[in-house]
């Protein structure tokens, strides 16, 4: 059965002004998602380029208001963190949540001045982020499994380091590694197969996503693993409104404020009639997605969630 999740608006809460936001609407959305039977709730990540609530701290709060849903990042810019600190924080959230944490994580972008400065702000050169990311994921997963880690890499040098407590999950905190067909680099698919418990794509069309699934599963098989084991997830952005022109206009305005540009055009969406959203989710499921995470490109997140729960989640009943 297809698993559905939603993105909680940790960035949307701070886009409208500089006043400290109330986190209550976000927590209420998480509770509503759980009560409706959704599989998971997710939060995004950025330090300074796209300001928002810090993801792991937020998930710790969500953990205290929920009991069942998985708690995930979509996606964590893991290379902005030191792996020992990330392991401690992640294992703590896993303990608070009773073993529900999953880290969707990606290399991250350096496409504009704000993104490039974000890396420099924490002393990381943007050109080194991919190699650093791979080391962070490997070390963090090993530490959260309870291992004592000695590691010598290009970015980190650890001598018999351990973190307590380990994660409740015996295999450590699972990572879903971001990879995209449009990026066109095989290294990302190999990275996901080697380091991830699964993979996550964004802004790929369904036919492109099917190729991502084939690539990652193929490399998983080459590496001696079970090609069917990695979790296949997809992150899509929608706006639900039977007035399709209004949906498209609001989504475009939201995405421009979110990114300072609508960077992927028709790779987002669909925007409009809920039946179109159901159809698109079916297309990703048929392309191999086991989990679909939905972000609402809207300034009224709670109304969008109501529409989603009332008009879209019946997808699993069809």
**The predicted structure's pLDDT at residue 16:** 76
What is the pLDDT at residue 103? 98
Residue ranges for the chain with pLDDT beneath 50: none
SS3 78: helix
Question: How many Cβ atoms are within 10 Å of 24's Cβ, its own excluded?
Answer: 9
Stated pTM of the model: 0.96
- Going by C-beta distance under 8 Å and a sequence separation of 6 or more, which residues neighbour residue 65? 27, 30, 31
Q: Which residues, in sequence order, are bridge partners of residue 201?
A: 234
Q: CA-based diameter of the chain, in Å?
A: 59
Q: Is the link from the previous residue into 165 a cis peptide, with omega within 30 of 0? A: yes
Residue whose structure tokens are 């009332």: 310
pLDDT at position 48, please? 96
Provide the 3-class DSSP secondary structure of residue 70: strand
What per-residue confidence (pLDDT) applies to 262? 81
Q: Does domain 3-317 have CATH number 2.40.50.140?
A: no
Residue at token pair 């986190």: 23
Nearest-10 Cα torsion for 254, 206, 45, 219: -170
SS3 category, 130: helix
Dump pLDDT digits (tens) for 108-128: 999 899 999 999 999 999 999
Identify the DSSP state of 22. P
């Amino acid at each position: 059965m297809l698993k559905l999740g939603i993105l909680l608006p940790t960035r949307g809460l701070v886009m409208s002004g500089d006043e400290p936001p109330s986190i209550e609407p976000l927590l209420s959305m998480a509770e509503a998602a759980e009560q409706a039977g959704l599989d998971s709730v997710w939060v995004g990540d950025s330090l300074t380029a796209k300001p928002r609530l810090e993801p792991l701290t937020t998930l710790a709060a969500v953990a205290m208001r929920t009991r069942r849903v998985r708690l995930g990042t979509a996606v964590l810019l893991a290379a902005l963190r030191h792996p020992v600190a990330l392991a401690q924080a992640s294992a703590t959230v896993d303990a608070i949540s009773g073993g529900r944490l999953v880290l969707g994580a990606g290399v991250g972008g350096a496409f504009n001045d704000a993104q490039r400065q974000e890396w420099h702000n924490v002393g990381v050169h943007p050109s080194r982020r991919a190699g650093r990311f791979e080391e962070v994921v490997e070390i963090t997963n090993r530490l959260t499994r309870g291992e004592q880690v000695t590691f010598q890499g290009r970015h980190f040098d650890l001598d018999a380091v351990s973190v307590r407590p380990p994660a409740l999950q015996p295999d450590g905190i699972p990572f879903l590694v971001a990879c995209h067909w449009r990026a066109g680099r095989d290294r990302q698919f190999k990275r996901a197969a080697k380091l991830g418990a699964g993979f996550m794509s964004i802004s790929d069309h369904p036919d492109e996503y099917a190729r991502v699934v084939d690539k990652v599963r193929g490399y998983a098989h080459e590496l001696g693993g079970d090609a069917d084991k990695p979790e296949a997830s997809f992150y899509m952005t929608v706006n639900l409104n039977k007035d399709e022109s209004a949906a498209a206009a609001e989504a475009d305005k939201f995405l421009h404020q979110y990114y300072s540009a609508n960077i992927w055009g028709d790779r987002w969406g669909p925007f409009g009639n809920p039946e179109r959203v159901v159809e698109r989710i079916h297309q990703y499921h048929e392309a191999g997605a086991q989990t679909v995470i939905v972000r609402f490109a809207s300034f009224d997140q709670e109304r969008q969630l109501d529409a989603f729960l009332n008009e879209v989640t019946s997808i699993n009943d069809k």
